[in-house]
Amino acid sequence: MAIRTKEQYYESVRRQAPELYSFGERLGDIGAHPCFKPPLDAIGLVYELSSQQDYENLLTAQSPFTGGKVSRFVHILSDREDLARRFRASRYLVHKHGACIGARCVSTGALNSTYAATFDMDRKLGTNYHARFVSFLKQVQENDLAVAGAMMDVKGDRSKSPGGQLEPDSYLRIVERRNDGIVVRGAKASISGAVIANEIVVLPCTALKPEEKDYAVCFAVRSDAPGIIHVAEAPGPNARRFVGEEMDYGNARYGAHGSTHVIFDNVFIPWDRVFMCGESEFAGALVNYFALLQRLFSTACKIGHRDLLMGAAAVIADYNGVGLTRQIREKLTELYFQSELSTGCALASIYQAQKSPSGVFLPDSLYINIAKLQGVSAIWDGNYITSDIAGGLVCTSPTAKDFKNEKIGKLLDKYLRGRADIPTEYRIRMMRLIEYLTGQSSVIPVESTHGAGSPQAQRMAIQQALMGVLDQYKKDARIMAGIEA
Ligand SMILES: Cc1cc2nc3c(=O)[nH]c(=O)nc-3n(C[C@H](O)[C@H](O)[C@H](O)COP(=O)(O)OP(=O)(O)OC[C@H]3O[C@@H](n4cnc5c(N)ncnc54)[C@H](O)[C@@H]3O)c2cc1C
């Protein structure tokens, strides 16, 4: 069963019963929850597409470990083409789900970095972590498991290292070594898809000093193992999912992130799932392997989001009746330019990728870091540009129930219409999608942009003022160049 069906994945999550809390209450059926069903469906979509022949090259690969076809997300990256295909897969899939598939996406970084670091450790120290990890990897590949990656500890006082914290559990650590395994305690903050993953691969989050051996720990754990407690994220827009209707959510089907804070309350990990236990000198290398890979796939994901953003910006400009104007084309060009700068650097990082001693290919550090940084900047710029293009309804749209109201529904339909030939509902839906993609569910940023006039109005006023002084400035320049007296 190297490629599971969507239903098999859903069934595996249903069978798990992770301890998950939201708004102070323990949740039961995750699959039916308004904020966990969307990320579950996003992962389900990846399973569904992976079993279709059209997506075979993009979403599956041939595994040297199982000898068969496996998901590209759990494949060991053994050449530049592997990196390139995995990069394309992330960008392409975002066009379909527009959300987060952390429980598949982070698998690649977590599995490949652990594969590489266990190889390094065994080679230098004569340990047997690599064989142990390969055995776990085979289980993941053969059963097509969804694997989250948990690196980020809660970190406590950021000015202090793990060993220097007043609260020693601020970084996850080994609290007991037993004959049959270890016991760990601590927490990992904001982990994408951890509660809807089958397994979580846990890694250190920073380089460690020799005296910080208890923090040098890497292992795999089921997301519902005894002692694992998940606390759900609670971003503002999630609240609307409890009171609104499908039209109010922007990306109704997939658009909730689904990360959890994962608390490890004295969790037992058997030895066959432990891949680092005290080898502090290798923590830095493991962190670096993970960071390089995850930055590549995160960059691809954000490029996909900006592709969607450009599409949404162009559509709303059309719906508003200004789609063909020069100012819209210029703004879209700027967004595209900023976004593709990031793509170019990511591709350069693949072109210059280097093979690690284990054989895992790693993107070039300089170019992937530039790509990631430029991508972040392009997202923020793109959010501004798209909100500017769309107008204030991004943050002030009424709800589906308002449109259904006998008295106000018709009035809203009449007054919130843009172009006469486009239904008002389409315009509101696109505004909601932009609200979702840009994260502008708080009124402040969009109100700051459009309140007291849109940026274009200020540009026009400034241009008008410039025209009033430009003749004089031109004359001054001609005089200075000796052309005029
Ligand atoms: C939605 C979401 C999903 C995520 N998913 C995952 C996941 O799947 N897996 C995972 O492992 N992680 C995940 N993360 C965690 C993410 O990687 C961390 O949030 C990120 O590394 C930043 O850590 P932090 O939030 O603790 O911020 P901080 O580290 O506190 O950073 C905040 C600011 O403090 C600065 N700072 C921190 N330390 C110092 C210092 N010593 N000196 C000076 N400045 C300092 C930073 O530069 C930054 O400007 C996710 C986060 C989010 C928000």
| The domain made up of 295-458 is a member of CATH 3.30.70.1450 | no
pLDDT of residue 441: 87
Ligand 1 centroid to residue 478 C-alpha, Å: 55
pLDDT for 402-426, tens place per residue?
999 999 999 999 999 999 999 999 9
| Ligand 1 atom closest to residue 154's alpha carbon, by position in its atom list | 26
- Residue 103 CB less than 6 A away from ligand 1: no
Is a pLDDT exceeding 90 seen at residue 231? Answer: yes
- Residue minimizing CA distance to atom 53 of ligand 1: 190
pLDDT for 259-271, tens place per residue?
999 999 999 999 9
Mention every residue, 6+ apart, whose C-beta is less than 8 A from residue 259. 100, 102, 190, 191, 192, 193, 194, 233
Query: What is the identity of the amino acid at 483?
Result: I
- Residue 259 CB less than 6 A away from ligand 1: yes
- Residue 197 CB less than 6 A away from ligand 1: no
254: nearest Cα among 89, 22, 95, 60: 95
SS3 content of the chain, % helix, strand, coil (to 5): 60, 15, 30
Ligand 1 pocket check: which of 43, 73, 108, 152 to mutate, most ligand atoms within 8 Å of Cβ?
152
Ligand 1 centroid to residue 431 C-alpha, Å: 30
pLDDT for 282-339, tens place per residue?
999 999 999 999 999 999 999 999 999 999 999 999 999 999 899 999 999 999 999 9
Give mean pLDDT, residues 145-158. 97
CA dist 158 and 189 (Å) reads 14
For residue 149, give the 3-state DSSP assignment: strand
pLDDT for 6-37, tens place per residue?
999 999 999 999 999 999 999 999 999 999 99
Give mean pLDDT, residues 115-144. 98
> Can you list the alpha helix ranges (DSSP code H) found in 224-322?
240-243, 283-320
- Residue 204 CB less than 6 A away from ligand 1: no
User: Global pTM?
Assistant: 0.95
Greatest distance between any 2 Cα atoms in the chain = 95
| Ligand 1 atom closest to residue 194's alpha carbon, by position in its atom list | 8
454 in Cβ contact with 351 (< 8 Å): no
- Residue 106 CB less than 6 A away from ligand 1: yes
pLDDT of residue 312: 98
Task: Give CA angle at 68 (63, 73), nearest 5°.
Answer: 50
pLDDT of residue 452: 87
Is a pLDDT exceeding 90 seen at residue 1? Answer: no
- Residue minimizing CA distance to atom 46 of ligand 1: 158
pLDDT of residue 442: 87
- Residue minimizing CA distance to atom 17 of ligand 1: 152
For residue 247, give the 3-state DSSP assignment: helix
pLDDT of residue 7: 97
Radius of gyration over alpha carbons of the chain, in Å?
26
| Ligand 1 atom closest to residue 102's alpha carbon, by position in its atom list | 8
- Residue minimizing CA distance to atom 37 of ligand 1: 158
| Ligand 1 atom closest to residue 155's alpha carbon, by position in its atom list | 26
Ligand 1 centroid to residue 152 C-alpha, Å: 7
- Residue minimizing CA distance to atom 26 of ligand 1: 154
223: nearest Cα among 44, 23, 26, 17: 17
258 in Cβ contact with 195 (< 8 Å): yes
Ligand 1 centroid to residue 308 C-alpha, Å: 26
| Ligand 1 atom closest to residue 192's alpha carbon, by position in its atom list | 8
In the DSSP assignment, the letter for residue 248 is G
Other C-beta atoms lying within 10 Å of the C-beta of residue 21 = 15
In the DSSP assignment, the letter for residue 275 is E
272 in Cβ contact with 478 (< 8 Å): no
CA dist 18 and 394 (Å) reads 36
pLDDT of residue 323: 95
Ligand 1 centroid to residue 153 C-alpha, Å: 9
- Residue 159 CB less than 6 A away from ligand 1: yes
- Residue 39 CB less than 6 A away from ligand 1: no
How many residues are listed for the chain in this entry?
485
- Residue minimizing CA distance to atom 12 of ligand 1: 152
Ligand 1 centroid to residue 150 C-alpha, Å: 12
182: nearest Cα among 152, 225, 223: 225
Is a pLDDT exceeding 90 seen at residue 135? Answer: yes
pLDDT for 154-212, tens place per residue?
999 999 999 999 999 999 999 999 999 999 999 999 999 999 999 999 999 999 999 99
Which numeric CATH code is attached to 6-282? 2.40.110.10
Instruction: Identify the H or E element spanning 355.
Output: strand 354-355
Cross-sheet strand order for the sheet of 25-26: 25-26, 19-22, 228-232, 260-270, 181-191, 173-177
- Residue 83 CB less than 6 A away from ligand 1: no
- Residue 257 CB less than 6 A away from ligand 1: yes
Domain extents for the chain? Answer: 6-282, 295-458
CA dist 262 and 229 (Å) reads 6
| Ligand 1 atom closest to residue 188's alpha carbon, by position in its atom list | 11
173: nearest Cα among 189, 163, 161, 185: 185
Mean pLDDT of the chain: 97
Phi, psi of 217, rounded to the nearest 5 degrees: -140, 135
107: nearest Cα among 293, 321, 382, 340: 293
pLDDT of residue 85: 98
Other C-beta atoms lying within 10 Å of the C-beta of residue 177 = 13
